Amino acid sequence: MTEHITARDDARDLSAFVAGLPKAELHVHHVGSASPRIVSELAANHRDSRVPTDPEALADYFTFTDFAHFIDVYLSVVDLIRTPEDVRLLTYEVARDMARQQVRYAELTITPWSSTRRGIDERAFMDAIEDARKAAEKELGVVLRWCFDIPGEAGLEAAEETMRLATDDRLRPEGLVSFGLGGPEIGVPRPQFKPYFDRARAAGLRSVPHAGETTGPETVWDALNHLGAERIGHGTSSARDPRLLAHLAEHGIALEVCPTSNIATRAVRTLDEHPVKEFVAAGVTVTVNSDDPPMFGTDLNTEYAVTARLLGLDERGVAELAKNAVNASFLASAEKAELAAEIDTYAAAWLAL
Ligand SMILES: [Zn+2]
């Protein structure tokens, strides 16, 4: 009985520790971060939308019955992003939700093609995200950087367009640091995107494709060999290839692990079967991320708690996990050192209590 109570208290302490811990997030999507609160604000501006505005009805709307329902809701949120003002509101409000979780730095994955093809002027789109970025940094203390990603399911035309938006000097936003690839993996081979990644990398962008989420380790190899991946989005199936794990460890290629997302999309059957333990055992750098948090009923703090449980970590271990994300980020080294020091100071103060 005593043991049981202690374990429960430990879990509660760890949640409180995580809640106050300064954090960086490397794998989180723009539209996928629209919480019911944000969606209700957007829906209120577009009364013709089928998305409910009342918070209670919206909570029901966000309760997914299956994956097809999730996609349906996701697309109805995409439909609410119609003007540059919507883009700005979404971006700034996502940063507000991050600030509440003590996220200091985030590389937010944006799919500009989804907006520009729907008629939002490309210049106005860039201005909207940049305006939100600057305001979020000044007013909320959240530093945002962008990853522009290719929606893999949309084909090479979308790839070309995403690459153009990311590399055209007249458009490229100041906060853009990386180039990604999302969407389904099955039937969407990674090598076909090599020319676009080559051009993005030549323009100084870092390569961070999703790979090995719903297909095997060969997709991760493709991302490394053809797209020059410097981190891997998910990389879940890497655990099935010891040679790949050794390669990731040796080259310091971090995995952007999103445990709850992997369960929601059935990339992994149950949390206890999540391969994060194998990654750590093989010496691979693991970072914790939330992917599409409100859509998967989670947030970054919950993902830290889940990962801490899977890895059996205490506060010190969780602080190291938070520093992994800082070190694997595309911050400059002085900024990395500053954020890592803030994490250390926080952990030391907590443990001294
Ligand atoms: Zn993702």
pLDDT digits (tens, 9 = 90+) for 15-41: 999 999 999 999 999 999 999 889 989
How far, in Å, from the CA of 27 to the mean position of ligand 1?
6
The Cα 28–Cα 348 span in angstroms is: 28
How far, in Å, from the CA of 210 to the mean position of ligand 1?
7
pLDDT value of residue 9: 63
213 belongs to the catalytic site? yes
Average pLDDT over residues 324-344: 98
The Cα 178–Cα 236 span in angstroms is: 21
What are the pLDDT digits (tens) for 247-269?
999 999 999 999 999 998 888 99
Comparing CA positions, the residue from 249, 197, 247 lying closest to residue 226 is: 197
Residue 67 has pLDDT above 80, yes or no: no
The Cα 120–Cα 141 span in angstroms is: 28
The Cα 208–Cα 205 span in angstroms is: 9
pLDDT value of residue 83: 96
Residue 6 tokens read as: 């202690």
What are the pLDDT digits (tens) for 153-163?
999 999 999 99
How far, in Å, from the CA of 39 to the mean position of ligand 1?
20
Q: How confident is the model at residue 59 (pLDDT cuts 50, 70, 90)?
A: confident
**Residues by chain with Cβ below 5 Å of ion ligand 1:** 291
Average pLDDT over residues 286-301: 94
Average pLDDT over residues 140-164: 97
CATH code of domain 2-351: 3.20.20.140
State the burial class of residue 8 (Cβ atoms within 10 Å of its Cβ: 0-12, 13-18, 19+).
exposed
pLDDT value of residue 1: 43
Which one of 213, 256, 303, 315 is the catalytic residue?
213
Cα separation of the two ends of the chain:
26
How far, in Å, from the CA of 215 to the mean position of ligand 1?
14
Residue 117 has pLDDT above 80, yes or no: yes
pLDDT value of residue 191: 96
Phi then psi for residue 294, to 5 deg, are -65, -30
Q: How confident is the model at residue 56 (pLDDT cuts 50, 70, 90)?
A: confident
How far, in Å, from the CA of 30 to the mean position of ligand 1?
10
294 CB-side CA count, 13 A: 21
Q: How confident is the model at residue 7 (pLDDT cuts 50, 70, 90)?
A: low
Considering 62-76, 177-191, 292-306, 330-344, the range whose residues carry the highest mean pLDDT is: 330-344
